[in-house]
Amino acid sequence: MTTMTEASPVAGGRYRQPIITAAVELTADAGWAAVTMARLAERVGVSRQTVYNEVGSKAALADAMISTELGRFLSLVGDAFDRHPDDLVEAIYEAVRVVLELARDHTLLRAIVSATHSADTELLPLLTTGSGALLAEAKTVLTTRVLAYRPPLDDEQLAVVIDLVVRAVLSHVMRPSDQPGRVADGIAWMAARALEVTPRQSLRSAPIRATRRG
């Protein structure tokens, strides 16, 4: 892997984003336990004190990693809705699909999934202690987007639907059960029913039917 010896100025400090990127890569390569300030300093080409100055503690680094990657996902969601300003169901379908496609090859998420099945349990707090804030941010973004389509639901009803959609997507991010397009198709269909919106087309693909035994 190429060592980053130079960095472009970014908000929060010149080397902050390169350090976060290096931490994501190192976590994917060797696990969260292998991430140290010294190793990050070597990868980025700065002193260990610079790493501390830019990201603080290892716990703060973990928060920054998750926040940065969440921003990438939410940016894709926003772009999907922008492309379908007059079709809420299509916007949801595309948003879910692109998120699942990115997650499929996402280094940090792969490392987190691996940690849940190995001894690298130090990474698990990223899924537990910080999960509430991450869920809240995702729900806020999605709620704002959906409200622009004026669905025929009150605030409490909409909150229930948004919660279901976000949790369904996260479930498939962590444990995929089918191809992104097929999963997005099903989630969009479910959301359309719950939001009382008539989709312009039915399910794009036939659902997988369970084989009955006996």
Q: What are phi and psi of 35, to 5 degrees?
A: -80, 115
Question: What's the whole-number mean pLDDT along residues 41-49?
Answer: 95
Question: What's the whole-number mean pLDDT along residues 85-102?
Answer: 94
pLDDT at 176: 83
193 DSSP 8-state letter = H
Give domain 16-56's CATH superfamily: Homeodomain-like (1.10.10.60)
Number of residues written out for the chain: 214
Question: What's the whole-number mean pLDDT along residues 84-101?
Answer: 94
* Model confidence at 26: pLDDT above 60: yes
Closest CA to 120 of 62, 73, 169, 42: 62
* Model confidence at 119: pLDDT above 50: no
pLDDT at 22: 93
Band of pLDDT at residue 76, cut at 50, 70 and 90 = very high
Domain ranges in the chain are 16-56, 59-195
Structure confidence by residue, pLDDT tens digits, 127-182:
555 556 777 888 999 999 999 999 999 999 999 999 999 989 988 887 888 999 99
